[in-house]
Amino acid sequence: MLRDPVARALSHINHVQRDATHLLHLQATGLSVREYCGHPALRKTIENFQSRYLASLSFSRALIPPPADHAAGWAFGDRAIQFENALYSLDRTTGLFDEAVRSLTIVDAVGLCEAHGPSLQLFMATLGLETRVGLAETRLNVGKGGLQLEQLSRDERAALEELNEVDRAVYEQARKMFVAACRKHAIAPDFARRAPAAVP
C-alpha cells in the first residue's frame, strides 16, 4: 500500500510529534514542518521514505538481521530506526527510482491508501481469495490533532515536496499500475473510497 507522499510525510510528522513514546518525539517536539524537514535525523523519516522501503525489498534481511534475543535495554522501535538509517544510504539521485519501480513489478499487487477499498478488492482478486459482498474494514487510522494538508503554507508544502521527489514519481508509476490491475479484474479504481469509519 502506497500513500500520496506529501500526505504521508505530514502524517508521519504529526505522529512523531503527538506520540510521546516515539523514540524521536523529544527531537521533534515544537518544530515547524520546515524545521522538521531540515533536521539531519528527522528528515530521514520522511525523505523518499516509500521508495527506500520498496528499493530495500531484496536486501532488507542483510541490512538488519533479526536479533538472536532482545537484550536488556532494547527499546521498542529501535530496529525500525536502525533500518530507516540503513535505507537512507540509498542515494536518491542514483538508482533509487529504478530500484523502487523494480520492486513494484515484483510484488503481486500494488494498493493505494487513497483507494483503500478497491485496493483490498484487488489484493483479494490477485491472490485468488473469494470476494465477499459487503467487505467492511473495521478500523479507521486517523490521528487526532496535528496539521492538515490544507493548513500548510506554500513553503511548508514545497519543503515536503522537495524531500519526496522520487516518492512522487514512484507513486505516479504505482497509480498507473493500480488502475491497470483494477481494470484487469473489473474493479472500479475509485479514489474517493478511503478506509471507512469503524463498523459497530
DSSP per-residue string spanning 105-150: HHSS---BGGGHHHHHHHHHHHTTPPPPTT---------SSS--GG
**What are φ and ψ of residue 60, in 5° steps?**
-60, -40
Confidence (pLDDT) at 152: 94
* Residue 168: CB atoms within 10 Å: 16
pTM score, whole prediction: 0.78
First to last CA, the chain: 25
CA dihedral 100, 104, 107, 111 (to 10 degrees): 120
Residue type, 125: A
Quote the Cα angle for 174-178-183, to 5°: 155
Quote the Cα angle for 37-193-172, to 5°: 50
Count of alpha carbons within 13 Å of 97, Cβ hemisphere only?
12
Indicate the range of 11-15, 92-96, 144-148 predicted with least confidence.
92-96
* Residue 107: CB atoms within 10 Å: 12
Confidence (pLDDT) at 197: 41
Work out the average pLDDT over 88-113.
Answer: 82
**Given pLDDT bands bounded at 50, 70 and 90, which one contains residue 37?**
very high
64, pLDDT greater than 60: no
**Given pLDDT bands bounded at 50, 70 and 90, which one contains residue 128?**
confident
Q: Cell 499487487 appears where? A: 109
81, pLDDT greater than 80: no
Work out the average pLDDT over 97-124.
Answer: 91
Residues 139 and 80: their CA atoms lie apart, in Å, by 24
**Given pLDDT bands bounded at 50, 70 and 90, which one contains residue 144?**
confident
Q: Which residue has the higher pLDDT, 37 or 71?
A: 37
Work out the average pLDDT over 20-42.
Answer: 95
Q: What integer best gives the mean pLDDT of the chain?
A: 82
